[in-house]
Every structure is written in structure tokens, then in C-alpha cells.
Amino acid sequence: MKKIICLMFIMFASIAAVHAEDGDGKAFLERFYQEGAECWFDNAFLKKHLTQKALKYLHDAFPYDDESGDGLAMWLFYQEGGWDLGELKEILVKNVADNTYRVTCHSAFNKDTYEYTVTFGLVRVGNAWKIDTMKPGKGDLIVSDPGIQDGSRWNIANLDYTAKVNADKTITFNAMAEGEELMFRLTPNYSKQDEYTLSDEPGADGFNPFSKSPRVKFIDKYDTKLLCLYDQKGQLQHVLDGKARLEGEKEALSKWDIQLYGYYTDRYGDTLQISSGVIYKKGVACATYEHIPFNGTVTGIMRISGATHLDGIWEAVITLDGLTLYQVAEDAYGVYQRQEGKEVLSWARDNFPRFNYTWTILLNDGQFRHLKKSTLRIMRNEILARHGYRFQSKDLQDYFSKRAWYKPAASNDEVEQPFEIEMLNLELIKAEEAKPDDERYVKEE
């Protein structure tokens, strides 16, 4: 215990000394460190360097040993329940007023971290400095592996942001998009667990793409790590995935692929299956396809080879009824422009939900934002329908009652809660529906 006390005050001195503006105050903290290291902060030493106010507080708050000074250790380490919280990891010091410092201690117990705040002041007594006005703050238990770690990768669409944990516990996120630096900062909201405030990175030239989403909630459960970004109205706008399987561009293309998978009927009445780079007809591979991204961004442009009437370069657009392929050609600037040709592939699986992928992938690639609001409404409610939700709206009743897979529950009280990923997708779709039409880019016709 004495060793822990020593370590703690060593860190007090070494860190607070940097912030002490008065040279004498800095010298005091340095001497406090040197002398304390030699005498293990015994009772006599503490009485020498603590004011009567601080000593009285310790005496009143905890049993104060005559010789060892263990009362100070109890005050600092037995906060919130009387547990010995183990090894002190770090201390952060912030100057909050003249000669007053707010000290945040991080102490580890097994694999968990216990974080609490201690506030103390430096006061001048004659020609010397002493530690005064010692006050404990609120303690919080933080679970092991506390989420947003230095160097961690966070994916959204084709971008991978890298997190940098700063000394003041703010977190800087950085990514590159088409040569432009993207940056933003998260500041912990200590009044709400696992919540942050999002802002521009101070003094940086990087662009903040999430300036309209100031509130951030961190989710770490069920083997997921997510940052959910909400706007001023409390609507979920973006989700960053801290456990994406692939790098940005590959992750975006993989998700786009999954959204295209399924069985479709072409204009000849033949059933085609799209799956992982291959188009099948009657179970036989009849064509292959590859996506053509732009700087890693999914554009919907794909090249199909091997099928007579689908050979060529197309822009694939997801619709409620299936998939529409618009023939495109590359112009002089390398941009693909729609031509007159168009192929409509109709969804051919009434016994399978149209947007079933909304329970398997997080829609943070943004492709759903290209759909009409009427399609988004079906997409959102399909999430509930898969769990047997009974609808009050007649149009939804009519639509889902015609689907062989839909099995409504006897009562909505019996409907199970959608999965975490489904709930997030539901929120994302709902927020998109709420946007004015002039703020949306709709590809579906």
C-alpha cells in the first residue's frame, strides 16, 4: 500500500510540476517527490507537507494511522465501496484555477479500470508550499478493454478512420478521402456513460464530415464496437464500425455485393441468381461480374461478361421490385453516363424478404440513401415484419400479407425485439425518410 501511495505522489509531483506557473511551487513539488520517495510518505512527512485543513479532512474521513499514513491511501484508493483498486496506471492534471488542480486518477484492478477524480490545491504557507483542500470526486467503474483505443480502426462506407487517444482523454479521428484529410474529435461526456461530444479538431486543417452530428454514443457489446452519431434532433445519422472485417474499400464492396445477392427474373422469364461475382441461370454459371469503384467509393457501376443480353457496363440500382440495370458509357472525363439501354430484373423470391440483408450487415455504406422514400418505408417495416409485427396501416398490411415468409404474431406484445444491428438500421432508415427531398439523391426510378 505504501508503495502505491509513493507511486501516486510521484506522479502528482511529476505531472503537476509541469503546470505550476510559480517557480517556487514547482520546486516544492519536486522536493515533495524526492523526499517522499525516500521516506515512503510516513506520518511525519505528510504532516510536514499537508495543511491542517487537509490533515483534518483525512482524519475525519478515515482512520489516520499515527505512523504509516495509510489513512491517505484509504482515502485515495478505498473510494466507492472500500476496495483496494490495485495498481495506479496514470494521473492527468488540469489547472482549473489559481493554484488549484483537478487530478484524475486511473487505477487498474484485474482487467478493469476504476476512474475517479481527486481535487487538491497548492497553497503558500509562509515561504513554503503545501497541499490543501483535498476533495474526492465521483468514482466510476469502467469495464475492461474500454473501447476506443489508441490506433484502433473505425469503418464507415469506404473509409477507415484511425483513432488517436490524446493525453486529455479526447480522441482524434483521422482518415483520407481522395487526397483530402478528414478529421474530428470526440470529447467524453462525463455525465453520461459511453457518450461523447463530436467537434472539429482544434487547430487542424482537416475537414469534419460529421459536423451535424454532435452527440456520439459508444456501443460495446455482443462482439460489436460501434460509434453512433446523432444529430441535434436525436436522430441517428451515421455509424462507425470498430470491428469491420475488411479494409475500407473492400468492406464497402462486400456490403454492396450482399445487397445485390438474390434471385431475379429477366425479360425472357428466366431466373437468374446473383451471388459473389457470378450470375447463374438454372444453377449454371452463365456470366461473371466485377464492380468498378471510384477511388474506393461504390458507384454501382459493374461490368458483366458472358451473358448475351447483359454483356456490357451497367449501373445497378436497387429497387423495391428487384434490380434495374442502366447501360452506361465512360465519357472523356472518366465519368460513367447513362445511355438509353435498360434491363429490369424482377425479384423472384416471394418466400424470402426483399431486404433480408438488413439483419446481417450494418447499413453504414449509405447505399440505402439512394432509394425512394416509399421504398425506404417498406425496407424499414420489413425489419419488424420479419419478427412477426402486426401493422395498423392498410398499405403495410396489404404488402406484407402477400409475402409467403410473413408470419404475423397473435399480438405485438409477443413480438421479440429486433437484433441490435436491425435496430440501428431501422434508425438510420427512419432518419433518411425524415430528410427533405431536396437534401437527397435518389437513383431509383
CB 4 within 8 A of CB 78: no
The pLDDT mean for the chain works out to: 80
Lowest mean per-residue pLDDT among 100-109, 186-195, 354-363: 100-109
Q: How far apart are CA 211 and CA 190, in angstroms?
A: 21
H helix runs in 83-149, sequence order:
none
Q: 194-197 long-range contacts, Cβ below 8 Å, gap at least 24?
A: 194/147, 194/218, 194/219, 194/220, 196/171
**What are 367-383's pLDDT values in tens digits?**
999 999 999 999 999 99
* pLDDT at site 186: 96
H helix runs in 183-328, sequence order:
248-260
Mean pLDDT calculated for residue range 75-100? 51
* pLDDT at site 66: 42
* pLDDT at site 190: 82
> Using the 8-state DSSP alphabet, how is residue 333 labeled?
T
Please tell me the pTM assigned to this model: 0.67
* pLDDT at site 103: 56
**What are 9-37's pLDDT values in tens digits?**
434 443 343 344 444 555 665 566 556 54
**What are 276-329's pLDDT values in tens digits?**
899 999 889 999 999 999 888 999 999 999 977 999 999 999 999 999 999 999
Mean pLDDT calculated for residue range 60-89? 44
Closest by alpha carbon to 121, among 28, 191, 196?
28
Q: Is the pLDDT of residue 236 over 50?
A: yes
* pLDDT at site 334: 86
Please, what is the angle between helix 2-19 and helix 70-77, to 10°?
Answer: 70
Q: Is the pLDDT of residue 65 over 70?
A: no
Q: Higher pLDDT residue, 274 or 107?
A: 274
Cβ within 8 Å of residue 417, ≥6 positions away: 387, 423
